[in-house]
Structure formats: C-alpha cells, structure tokens
Amino acid sequence: MNRIVERFAKLRQHGRKGLVVYIGAGDPHLQATEELTVAFDTAGADVVELGVPFSDPLADGIVNQLAAQRGLESGTTPPKLLETVRRIRTRSQVPIVLYVYFNILHRHGFQKFIQDCAAAGVDGLLVLDLPPEESENYEAMMAAAGLCNIYLMAPTTPEARMEIIAKRARGFIYYVSREGVTGMQSKVADTIAEMTGKIRAHTDLPIAVGFGISNPEQAKTVAQFGDAIVVGSAIVSRIAELGKKPELVSSVAGFVESLAKGVKGN
C-alpha cells in the first residue's frame, strides 16, 4: 500500500489528526534535507513535503521563495534530490511528497520523472501548476507507478469544481485556507470549518489544511476541522535562521515536535 494512504488510514483508525511538514529541498544542502526528514519522522510528522527548487515558484511567498533560491545555489537538482530520497529510505519510511512545478516534470521527461520518483521511494506529487482538467495522462501514469496525485482546493474553488477535483485526487486533499501565497500569519482563516465541510460533502479523502499555520496553538485550532494540518513557512524560516549551524536539525525537529503535540494532543 502507498505510504500516504497507509498513514492516513492508521490515523483515522486511531482517531488521530496528522501533521504534514514542508521544507525546501537542498536548503541549506541535501545532507541537511536527509537529516531533517529523518528527524521529523521521529518528532511526529506524518508526511514530509520536499519542495523541489525552482527558479519561478509562483505559489510561494518570500520565505519559501528564498528557500528555493538557496536550494538552487546548493546545487540541488531533481536527480540529486531523488538520490537523497533513496538514502532517506534506508533510515525512514515516513511518507514523502514532492512539491513541484510542472516545468520540472516537463524538462525531466513526464513519465520518466514519475517512474524515477517511484523507484526512489517518493509516495506522491503535488504539482502546483497542473490543474486536474489537464491531468488525465498524468493521473494514469501516477496510478501505474503507485503514487498519489495530490490536488489543491482553495476558498475560491466553486463547489462544482470541488467535486471534479475530489474525484480525481489521491492520498489527500490539500486545502489552501487562504487566498494568495504561502507564508506565516498571525491568525488562522475564519472560513476553515465552512470550507472543509463543503469539501467533505464530495469526498472521503483526508483533508490537510495549510497556508499560514505558524505555531502549535494555531495547529491545534485548525486540527479541529481538518484531518491534518500543513506547516511550511514557519519551519523554513527557522532553517533560514540557523543555516549550517550544528544545532539546525535538533532545533527545527524540536519545533516540529511541538507542532505534533499541538495537533495530536500528546
């Protein structure tokens, strides 16, 4: 069974909420990406999203844009990242999603990229700028490779389109709780309960709520409405502050552990 599907099934079985964490791959270097991912598993993360560095990250705010730039500067490429995933797989079975832009798949070769991801131990792809309406061949290739094609929904998504996306998504629905780009916010959106209720009318897939969740208190609040919460910029900003300092992994993993406690209540 796909690791994402298996993890959410276990969470549901035990009545627990999940934590999805995002970092920019190769920030500050790929060895740190490996160590952080393994540490996040121990700290209580249920899914790790690795942002594939890209020169024009349209869905990202400044924190994650700078992480992508640092990833590019450290020499991170898709093949090098997949080799890092292979190394992670010798140490951890935490579900891994690549957060990626379509141009990278196109440049690498669509089917080859998917097959290489599956061979390395990736569990799903979130292609930010590939809408479901243009994804039929992609979905078939992903299914053949045993990977989850994860799609976004937003506060502006009409219900008719929610139904289309829900039918075609696999693994989980990523609900973007705010309009705009990624980034930390001082308070959570006040429409999360309403929107997650609408999404649930169309699917039994888990709903992971992201964009703007910055601390354990917000994580606990949002976890009331979603099946999982997604935290990215708040983690990435800590990586930016610590850089290559020796305490990078332990410090950032400690923050992830505090988020996990907020979500899971332990």
The residues annotated as belonging to the active site are 49, 60
What DSSP state is assigned to residue 132? G
**Contact between residue 21 and residue 11 where contact means Cβ atoms under 8 Å apart:** no
Integer Rg of the chain from CA: 17
For 80, 107, 126, 204, the CA distances from 141, given in Å and listed in that order, are 22, 17, 14, 23
**Contact between residue 182 and residue 211 where contact means Cβ atoms under 8 Å apart:** yes
User: How crowded is residue 112: how many other Cβ atoms within 10 Å of its Cβ?
Assistant: 11
Distance CA 58, CA 60 (A): 6
User: How crowded is residue 192: how many other Cβ atoms within 10 Å of its Cβ?
Assistant: 21
